[in-house]
Chains A and B, each alone.
Chain A
């Protein structure tokens, strides 16, 4: 899968590492006074199931909005698949087609049906006439139906979004993102308000899609438990700073970094100091 990616995008083959997201000392703010994020360093490998955990107001949603280009850092650099996110950049705009983003509020079109909401994910593949007349090509409709059954919404295609339960709404939002044929999936606390059983069903759904499509999933969690259970890596955010990053394999912690630096980096810094 990774190799296919490389032949498709020859420019990437020159780069040996396979970092899909790289953030370097990223600062950002909504107003001029307070920073929502303060010097975030983050580097995410392709195909990772990455979790971001932290308290309310710590900056988790803000972090996701930086990854889909909806927000721009006031300082520092971000690269998504080696491209700087910017809505005015044609290359990134094209990239947005394959970044599935599920906001905390889900962002469904309430007065549209389940099927219509999901087909929105295929809009970048439609031409002007098709999208003006809502004339979705047959393969797209088949694809949507396939995804509908994968997320367990069969029989509810024609239901208006506002008539769905919380769990069903989340399934629609996931399906819309999958319809994009994404390479990155960003999901913001989509299971926080659900009961444990439904939350796990939805997490399984994403874990399954993640493996099947070789997605890089980046999910924000309120609940550290869920984060550790499902992710390969977990970053903990506190007051706009990354205070911890853990790599998990099964039950074991394979990598443990504190602050914005790995233990190795801390050692290196000490070494630099002593050399001076």
Chain B
């Protein structure tokens, strides 16, 4: 370890201590609070089983919200990404679209949810709208970046035939970036399920709505049951999307590598 590294590590530790003091983060409080978890666990076991179907239903609602949000968001993001890609458009087209997307991304989904609750009232619809906005902002960015990394060879070869820009998009850009898109959709859905789970905190529907209400009334056991359902659901979705990714995406990307090597 060089002295320079020691100084850097020292600085980081010092910053940690100062920041912890400022935000009141005290490890002792954490340890002293551990027994409280036991209490929650005890309460959880004593919760009547009739709440479990409610929890499952709430989770199902959450997943549906995430599904609509992801699908509609991606459907809107895809054309936007075509206009935002530098290799397909002039500056006057891509610059404003990118600025708009950047603006959309500055809001975390929970702020979008608050905004839409004000607009359309409490309930899942506000949550769906929030997820749509969040998805547009992120997927469009990921997708235009994917489009910009497409190999320029097929683009040049096909445009030298004199095809229209739309034909170029349809027959080169989309096939060459489709595996990225599928992977982004899976990732985004996964992420959106987690996000949707907390949108209920601001009244935008989903399972979080139950959790926050139980917490408000000190019914920690019930809240914990609902949280466990979220945990299990997220794990299952994660596992399924890994399977899908392995089956469809790894295969084609491996093929790309081989092609790239053979020039």
State whether these chains interact: yes
Please determine whether A111 and B179 come into contact, CB atoms closer than 8 angstroms: yes
Q: Does B5 contact A (CB under 8 A)?
A: no
Interchain nearest-CB distance for A200 vs B (Å): 21
Q: Does A15 contact B (CB under 8 A)?
A: no
> Which of A97, A102, A112, A173 contacts B162, CB < 8 Å?
A97
Q: Does B161 contact A (CB under 8 A)?
A: yes
Given A123-B167, A124-B162, CB of A103 within 8 Å of CB of B156: yes
Please determine whether B262 and A166 come into contact, CB atoms closer than 8 angstroms: yes
Interface majority SS (helix, strand, loop, mixed), chain A:
mixed
Given A93-B162, A97-B162, A121-B161, CB of A110 within 8 Å of CB of B256: yes
Size of the chain A interface, CB-CB below 8 angstroms: 38
> Which of A94, A109, A160 contacts B154, CB < 8 Å?
A109
Q: Does A96 contact B (CB under 8 A)?
A: yes
Q: Does A101 contact B (CB under 8 A)?
A: yes
- In angstroms, Cα B172 to Cα A59, docked, is 28
- In angstroms, Cα B256 to Cα A93, docked, is 31
Interchain nearest-CB distance for A11 vs B (Å): 20
> Which of A70, A121, A180 contacts B156, CB < 8 Å?
A70
Interface centre among A111, A131, A193 (most CB of B within 10 A): A111
Please determine whether A106 and B153 come into contact, CB atoms closer than 8 angstroms: yes
Q: Does A141 contact B (CB under 8 A)?
A: no
> Which of A93, A109, A131 contacts B172, CB < 8 Å?
A109
- In angstroms, Cα B172 to Cα A155, docked, is 23
Instruction: Report, nearest first, the 3 A-B pairs whose CB atoms are least far apart.
Output: A107-B157, A96-B162, A162-B255
Q: Which residues of B contact A (CB under 8 A)?
A: 151, 153-158, 160-164, 166-167, 170-172, 175-176, 178-179, 252, 255-256, 258-259, 262-263
Would you list 14 pairs from A and B whose C-beta atoms are within 8 A, ordered by A residue? A68-B160, A69-B160, A95-B162, A106-B157, A108-B157, A109-B154, A110-B255, A111-B179, A112-B171, A120-B161, A124-B161, A126-B167, A166-B262, A173-B157
